[in-house]
A = this chain, B = another copy of it.
Amino acid sequence: MRVIPQNVQRLIDEFSRLPGIGPKTAQRLTFYLLRSSDKDLGDFGSAVLELKKDIKTCSTCSNIAESDPCHICDDPRREKTSICVVEEPLDVVAIERTGKFQGLYHVLGGVISPIEGVGPDELFIKELIERLKKEDVDEIVLATNPSIEGEATALYLQKLITPLNIRITRIARGLPVGGDLEYADEVTLSRAIEGRLDYN
A contact set with B: CB distance below 8 Å: 1-8, 10-11, 13-14, 17-21, 25, 27-34, 38, 40-55, 64-66, 71, 75, 88-90, 92-93, 96-97
Contact = CB atoms under 8 A, between A and B. Distances in A.
B3 A92 contact: yes
A27 B90 contact: yes
Contact of A8 (B17, B18, B30, B51): B51
Nearest to A5: B66
Contacts of A18: 29, 32-33
Contact of A47 (B14, B88, B97): B14
A29 B75 CA distance: 29
A163 to B, nearest CB: 32
Nearest to A43: B14
Nearest to A12: B47
B75 A1 contact: yes
A48 B7 contact: no
Given A45-B45, A75-B1, A30 B7 contact: no
A13 B46 CA distance: 13
Nearest to A89: B31
B51 A41 contact: yes
Given A28-B20, A34-B64, A48 B51 contact: no
